[in-house]
Amino acid sequence: MSYFRFEIFHRSSRSRARVGRIHTPHGIIDTPNFVAVGTNGTLKALDNRMVDSIGLQLMFCNTYHLLLQPGVDVVRRAGGLHQFMNRKMPIITDSGGFQVFSLAYGSVASELKSCGAKKQDGHVLKINEDGVLFRSYRDGSKVLLTPESSVLAQKALGADIIIPFDELPPYHIDAQKLKASLDRTHRWEKRSLDEHLKNPQNQAMYAVIHGGVDPELRKESCSALTQHPFDGFAIGGSVGKTKAEMVSMLHTTLPCLPEDKPNHLLGIGDLESLKQCIPIGIDTFDSSYPTRAARHGLLLTQEGGLKVSKAEHANCFGPIEHGCTCWTCQHFTLAYLHHLFKANELTAYTLASVHNLHFMVALMQSYREAILQDQV
């Protein structure tokens, strides 16, 4: 299709790492790349002028949250999500399927820690073949999300890349329930694709590979979904309790996916995971880690994380990191950021987020350059 295209420039001779480029209606995405998470149509503490200047080529927004507030009809009347949030570059939206997990269990870390114990607030009311019945966390109203309604919502939002409706089962689940969830997710994804293809609307759709950490189910998911004309493949579901489990799962999964289509690792973007997963062949990653870390006063540097609130930084009148070209490092000192965090000033979140996201953009550029030289 002319509005979405993936090309590979170089494959490393040392690993499965590759350098490529995704073409979308709103611009290009160089790969491998990091995708920032703007759940409600914004990166917390930043406006899109700042985001564009940092060079973040792709942003991840959340269909379920935007469905509840401001509502997809508002976004449609605004001219779509790009127009509504004044973003010129590509956007990817998820299906709302992750909320089946998060509203039932909390974060992935919470589920792992609780060994699969569900929360008691009742936001997920029913899951069946039709879809998922939620209770809105905003006003208590009931919201039925189906494969078809999820896709139609994403059509109204108008993202460049959309995701079929899926279910993310917890890490702690028995084999029979995991298999039943996988089978239903495959049916939901096919229904999502059928709805999408009625009116492609210059959007690409990525399938989501599931199966938990069961290698045979991962292979089965790849086999089932690669039969359909998806434009790319995201790797979702539980990726394991440890980095070793995740890496093992990816070594099983990636060889089963078409090499000529882009792939995306959902919800993973910490620095150690990038280091381990890029050589396996992952093209894009999304995570809220850099911006969440920034808001907690953890600044990313080549030497590791820097906790800005430590007293030792009170009289550091140089930048966060010498040689960094971000707006924050070019205009403010570490001592000033230390002061802002100690004073609980909101500007602290903005300046720290600008630095951390710039760090991620520069890091991914360095990875691409290293792959081109067969160093990764």
Domains, the chain, in order of start with CATH, read: 5-93+147-287 (3.20.20.105), 299-376 (no CATH)
CB 56 within 8 A of CB 318: no
> Which of the four pLDDT bands, split at 50, 70 and 90, describes residue 106?
low
Per-residue pLDDT, averaged over 65-78, amounts to: 96
**3 state DSSP class of 207:** strand
What is the average pLDDT score of the chain? Answer: 94
Report helix angle 347-372 to 334-342, nearest 10.
130
Residue with the larger pLDDT of the pair 110 and 187: 187
- Token reading at 209: 């590979």
Cα–Cα distance list, 363 to 61, 143, 257, 282, 358 (Å)? 22, 40, 26, 15, 8
pLDDT at residue 105 in the model: 65
* Entry field: residues in the chain: 376
pLDDT at residue 168 in the model: 86
Say which amino acid occupies 330: Q
pLDDT greater than 90 at residue 273 = yes
pLDDT at residue 238 in the model: 86
> Which of the four pLDDT bands, split at 50, 70 and 90, describes residue 1?
low
pLDDT at residue 37 in the model: 96
What is the spatial distance between Cα 202 and Cα 75, in angstroms, rounded to a whole number?
17
pLDDT greater than 80 at residue 67 = yes
pLDDT greater than 60 at residue 111 = no
pLDDT at residue 121 in the model: 64
pLDDT greater than 70 at residue 107 = no
Q: What is the pLDDT of residues 318-345, one digit of tens each?
A: 999 999 999 999 999 999 999 999 999 9
Residue with the larger pLDDT of the pair 161 and 117: 161
- Token reading at 337: 């950021």
Residue with the larger pLDDT of the pair 96 and 29: 29
Query: Among residues 338, 343, 348, which one has the least CA distance to residue 308?
Result: 338
18-22, 109-113, 289-293, 303-307: least confident range: 109-113
pLDDT at residue 340 in the model: 98
pLDDT at residue 23 in the model: 98
> Which of the four pLDDT bands, split at 50, 70 and 90, describes residue 171?
confident
Written as one string, the DSSP assignment of 177-201 is HHHHHHHHHHHHHHHHHHHHHH--T
Of the chain, the end-to-end C-alpha distance in Å amounts to 31
Beta bridge partner(s), residue 298 = 307
pLDDT greater than 80 at residue 109 = no
> Which of the four pLDDT bands, split at 50, 70 and 90, describes residue 347?
very high
Active site residues: 94, 286
pLDDT at residue 208 in the model: 98
Q: What is the pLDDT of residues 120-156, one digit of tens each?
A: 566 888 899 999 988 888 888 898 999 999 999 999 9
Q: Kindly tell me the sign of the dihedral angle through the C-alpha atoms of 228, 229, 230, 232.
A: positive
The DSSP symbol for 373 reads: T
pLDDT greater than 80 at residue 173 = yes
pLDDT at residue 112 in the model: 62
pLDDT greater than 70 at residue 249 = yes
> Which of the four pLDDT bands, split at 50, 70 and 90, describes residue 101?
low
pLDDT greater than 70 at residue 177 = yes
Written as one string, the DSSP assignment of 235-294 is E-S---SSHHHHHHHHHHHGGGS-TTS-EEETT---HHHHHHHGGGT--EEEESHHHHHH
Exposure string over 117-149, b if 16+ CB within 10 A, otherwise e: eeeeeebbeeeeeebbebbeeeeeeebebbbbb
Q: Where are the beta strands (DSSP E) in the chain?
A: 5-11, 18-24, 27-31, 33-37, 59-61, 91-93, 124-127, 132-135, 142-145, 161-162, 204-209, 232-235, 263-265, 284-287, 298-301, 304-307
100-109, 222-231, 303-312: least confident range: 100-109
Could you tell me what percent of the chain has a pLDDT over 90?
84
Q: What is the pLDDT of residues 185-243, one digit of tens each?
A: 999 999 999 999 999 999 999 999 999 999 999 999 999 999 999 999 999 988 999 99
